[in-house]
Amino acid sequence: MSYIFVLIGVLLLIVLFNTIIKAKLQKEESGDGASDVPYFRKAVLTEVEQVLYHRLVEALPELIILAQVPMSGLVGIRKQGNKNWQGQFNAISKKSVDYVVCRKDFSVVAVIELDDSTHEAADRQQSDAVKNAAFKQLGIEILRLQPGNMPAAESIAVAFATFLKKEDQHPPLNAA
């Protein structure tokens, strides 16, 4: 009879030991989440994007320049009476624009895209078409520049001065 108690005790210790080992392994596998993912730091802007950003800031000191702005922060999709709003939102939700030029009240003056060679791919052209259509509908100018043909700060200042004079004559409507 005492052998049965010893055998039961040994079995319970084996089960307990096994449970402790499994729990420890699961904890090591899940960790804190961050140590198991191969994260690495990235700059917000590439070197070429930084060049254009600094030219925009220099050329347009009276305006605010935002970089890498999600389209969902600029474009809303009406839900009411729109059965396809989720699909339409999905079409913009993962897209961003390179730069947004704003007035001091953060109203959008223009969007600027720096189109490098990746924009020649079919999926990027489709993405660009969605952006173009959305901003055209909203009455927001989208300017597309090539990295090898970036204007100097002085040229940007002159172009925006002309653009702002035209826009001030016909201010855009803010429709919610």
Give per-residue pLDDT as tens, 74-90: 999 999 888 888 988 88
User: DSSP state, 34?
Assistant: S
In this prediction, residue 138 carries a pLDDT of 93
Q: 96 and 165 in one domain? A: yes
Residue 33 has pLDDT above 90, yes or no: no
Verify that 27 and 59 share a domain, yes or no: no
**pLDDT of 152 strictly over 70:** yes
Better-scored residue on pLDDT, 172 or 168: 168
Over 60: is that where the pLDDT of 140 sits?
yes
The tokens 């605010």 sit on which residue? Answer: 64
pLDDT at 132 over 60: yes
Task: Please check the confidence at residue 144 and state whether its pLDDT lies above 80.
Answer: yes
Same domain? For 81 and 161 the reply is: yes
Residue 94 and residue 134 in one domain: yes
The reported pTM is 0.71
Q: Helix, strand or coil for residue 156?
A: helix
Whether 114 is covered by a domain: the verdict is yes
Among residues 45, 50, 44, 52, which one has the least CA distance to residue 146?
52
Structural domain containing residue 10: 1-40
User: Is residue 30 a part of any domain in this protein?
Assistant: yes
Residues 29 and 96 occupy one common structural domain: no
Confidence of residue 175 (pLDDT cuts 50, 70, 90): very low
Same domain, 151 and 73: yes
Whole-angstrom Cα distance, residue 40 to residue 140?
35
| Residues above pLDDT 90, as percent of the chain | 48
Buried b / exposed e along 162-175 (16+ C-beta atoms within 10 A): eebeeeeeeeeeee
Predicted pLDDT of residue 91? 85
The total number of structural domains in the chain stands at 2
Please report, rounded to a whole number, the percentage of residues in the chain having pLDDT higher than 70.
80
Let me know if residue 16 belongs to a domain. Answer: yes
Residues making up the chain, counted from first to last: 176
